[in-house]
Amino acid sequence: MKIKLASSYGFCYGVKRAIKIAEEHPGSATYGPLIHNKDEIDRLKSSFDIGLVESFGEAEQVDSIVIRTHGIPKNELKMLKAEGKEIINATCPYVTTPQQIVERMSREGYSIVVFGDRNHPEIKGVVSYAEDPRDAFVVLEESELESLPLKSKVAVVAQTTRKPADFLEIVNALVLRAKEVRVFNTICNATFENQDAAAELAKEADMMIVIGGKHSSNTKQLHSICKNYCEESYLIENENELDPAWFEGKELCGISAGASTPDWVVQNVIARIREIEEVTRALRSE
């Protein structure tokens, strides 16, 4: 069986930057998972003693805090600074951009529409930069716009890992409704590239393996895109989740990985697939 990697996959700029920042501050703690990849977080813990705090209360007990790639709510960042904590900001610049846009457009009197998952830490942080939280709305579907008390002026941003086509649907609906719509395409270029590469590979593969955290938005998007073109597409976090039955009778296995997936995890998956092949071949020859 041939194994083919997508032409673009894995670590994005923001994740590489965050990991480098964390490695330069051993003994510190991240506020929330630095990235959505447990294996890489475990590596940072064992090799650099990078801790993890999950709540603001826990963060108050730590002297040196690394802000996760997804950012944190504005008020929490302000309070931590006021308490004299050492703040090491590893927020991805592509996430900082929509934060700044929301803050500026909100001050200028625009209603804010954020296209994304309201429960995702990135979106919680972005929305917190609105001057008036009652005038900032998070939507995932066009239908959700109908009941919103929007002003005549609307500014719209997107979660960095969403599908561009879905964002366009939200934008088109707003243009038909509001007098003025300011559109800020804040979807990350790395997301475009990984999604396009995964789609192209899925069109020719017998099966697809998408590697990444189960809570990673961009990884779940990749898996969804792959399933559109290749029904036998599987989302795994590491090589331990591979099922030998998936590979029976397959000629081309495509592999993609989310933006928080380190290459060493990808290589472990490839090595495990080859082991499965060898075991299968040995059993057939007996």
Catalytic positions are 122
Q: Are 152 and 178 within 8 A, CB to CB?
A: yes
User: The sheet that has 233-236: what strands, in order across it?
Assistant: 2-5, 252-257, 207-211, 233-236
Q: How many helices (H) and strands (E) does the chain have?
A: 10, 12
Is 217 part of any known ligand binding site? yes
What is d(CA 22, CA 163) in angstroms, rounded to the nearest whole number? Answer: 29
Is 256 part of any known ligand binding site? no
What is d(CA 286, CA 283) in angstroms, rounded to the nearest whole number? Answer: 5
Is 36 part of any known ligand binding site? yes
Tokens of 117: 């998952």
Is 92 part of any known ligand binding site? yes
What is d(CA 99, CA 17) in angstroms, rounded to the nearest whole number? Answer: 19
Is 25 part of any known ligand binding site? no
Is 224 part of any known ligand binding site? no
Is 230 part of any known ligand binding site? no
Instruction: Dihedral sign for Cα 104, 107, 111, 113, please.
Output: positive
Q: Are 24 and 273 within 8 A, CB to CB?
A: no
Is 8 part of any known ligand binding site? no
Is 188 part of any known ligand binding site? yes
List the binding residues for [4Fe-4S] cluster.
12, 92, 188
List the binding residues for isopentenyl diphosphate.
36, 70, 120, 216-218, 260
List the binding residues for dimethylallyl diphosphate.
36, 70, 120, 216-218, 260
List the binding residues.
12, 36, 70, 92, 120, 160, 188, 216-218, 260
